[in-house]
Chain A
Amino acid sequence: MTDSFEPKITAFVCNWCTYAGADLTGTSRIKYASNVRVLRLPCTGRIDFMLLAKAFSRGADGIIVSGCHPNDCHYTSGNYHARRRWMVYRDLMDFMGLDTRRITFSWVSAAEGARWAELVNEVTVAVRALGPYTDYRELALTGVE
């Protein structure tokens, strides 16, 4: 296996759980793949599906969307709404022929620093095996954004 391809992973995380969890990973001195770019949002309920589409068109090979476990949302129900949205969006992605293997949805709490490292490492390995995601990016190259 050649090591020439390093995937770009964009992580959309909520402020209250996964971001704090990722912070804990750092303060716990746990090393993990540096392929991930973390974007902090107030809540998973805030994450519009177009943000994910934009990430693909700007060069992401894989995406992680992560927030509070069900029942732990800082805003009570943001993650429940997000879950419904992803249930429909993932279906639509598949129907339109987008690669659903490149989006990973997950719940990571503020206490799960080790789990965050594990998740990023797993996704990085999986996306590295899938190779660059060119379908979407090539479309973006046909037009000037």
Chain B
Amino acid sequence: MDVIATSRQLLESGAVQAVIGFEAGTRGIPRPAFIRRAEGAGALVFDANCTQNLGTYLTRPEVRTLGRVAVTATPDTLRAILQLMAERQLKEEDVLALAVDATGEALELPTAQAVEEHLAMVAQVLPDRDREALERLGRMTREERWAFWQGEFARCVKCYACRNSCPMCYCGHCTMDCNRPQWVAEPSHALGNLEYHMVRAMHLAGRCVACGACGRACPVGIPVHLLTFHGEESVHRQFGQRAGASSRLDYALSTFRPDDKETFIR
């Protein structure tokens, strides 16, 4: 069944109280829609332009009050759902993932295991553009990388769109808003921007599901997603795990192995 028919049936039967999906927006860009009645399901769309990670809404207090929700999902969204479950932010019974394929067919994935099995068939690959950007940065000297990021951060206005679009940034009280002590300089000057992006990257290392929603959300086009992608690659290379792979994953930085290998501690 397609997204509309599936959603209508789920809402009619009371299996879910709301469907989070996309509806037609302005300038051809779909926008998130929260459908709570079966007759509203006709507005749902799902196409290649639906790239926002809807997982970001699942932990919002106002969405939690809706009851059980279904969410139309790309593989990125599915990984976000598993990671939220791993971080005990989402219960299996609170969410029904609707994996939508290129033809618009919706597949109901009611359990974490079903999501995991579905994801096992989908290869997780970084988009070529991002992989090349990471490699290009890797080839630069340290000074060139510093200049690159300083140039990028100079445009940052600290709108926090990257934070808000991220399904893993759900903390009720973010370090950015913490002023006792003031961890991060508040204004969007050079130091405040660098520290903000450093904290964001560190807090997402080992938790980033590499959906790239942050980079797409940036109004001034800073490739902020490269920072979290890099952190994710770093964790995978050193600790052999990827966020979003399972609903029973330990956070890489709150666990350890006595034989973790590094080369720099004297």
Q: Report A's interface with B, CB cutoff 8 A.
A: 49-50, 53, 57, 70-71, 77, 80-81, 83-92, 94-100, 104-107, 119, 135, 139-140, 142-143, 145
| Residues of chain B at the chain A interface (Cβ within 8 Å) | 137, 142-150, 182-185, 187, 189-192, 194-195, 197-199, 201-202, 205-206, 227, 230-231, 234-235, 238-239, 252-258, 260, 262, 264-266
Q: Are A86 and B265 in contact (CB-based, < 8 A)?
A: yes
Chain A residues within 8 Å of B194, by CB = 96, 139
Contact at B142–A94, with CB atoms within 8 Å? yes
Starting from the known contacts A77-B256, A92-B231, 14 additional A-B residue pairs (CB-CB under 8 Å) come to A50-B183, A70-B258, A80-B257, A81-B253, A88-B202, A88-B253, A89-B202, A92-B198, A92-B201, A96-B145, A96-B198, A97-B143, A140-B191, A145-B191
A111 CB → nearest B CB, Å: 17
Please, which residues of chain B bring their CB within 8 A of the CB of A77? 256
Q: Report the Cα distance A138→B236, complex, angstroms.
A: 34
Q: Report the minimal beta-carbon distance from A72 to chain B, rounded to whole angstroms.
A: 12
B255 CB to closest chain A CB (Å) equals: 8
Residue of B nearest to A137 (CB): B191
CB < 8 Å: which of A53, A70, A135, A145 contacts B146?
A: A135
A residues in contact with B260, CB < 8 Å = 80, 83-84, 87
| Shortest Cβ distance from residue B148 to the other chain A in the assembled complex, whole angstroms | 7
In angstroms, how far is the closest chain A Cβ from the Cβ of B258? 7
Shortest beta-carbon distance from A125 to chain B in Å: 14
A127 to chain B, nearest CB (A): 14
Chain A hits for B144, CB < 8 A:
97
Which of A80, A86, A105, A139 has the most CB atoms of chain B within a 10 A radius of its CB?
A139
Contact A81 B230 (CB under 8 A): no
- Say whether, besides A83-B260, A91-B234, A96 and B227 are in contact (CB < 8 Å): yes
A105:B195 contact, CB within 8 angstroms: no
B147 — which chain A residues lie within 8 A by C-beta?
97
Cα distance, A85 to B262, chains bound together (Å) = 11
Contacts A71-B258, A119-B266: A88 and B190 contacting too (C-beta < 8 A)? no
Nearest Cβ on chain A to B72's Cβ, whole angstroms: 33
A residues less than 8 Å from B205 (CB atoms): 88, 92
* A90 surroundings in chain B (CB, below 8 A): 264
Residues of B within 8 A of A142 (CB): 189-191
CA distance A143 to B253 in the complex (A): 32
Complex CA gap A86/B262 in Å reads 9
Q: How far is the CA of A145 from the CA of B183 in the complex (A)?
A: 10
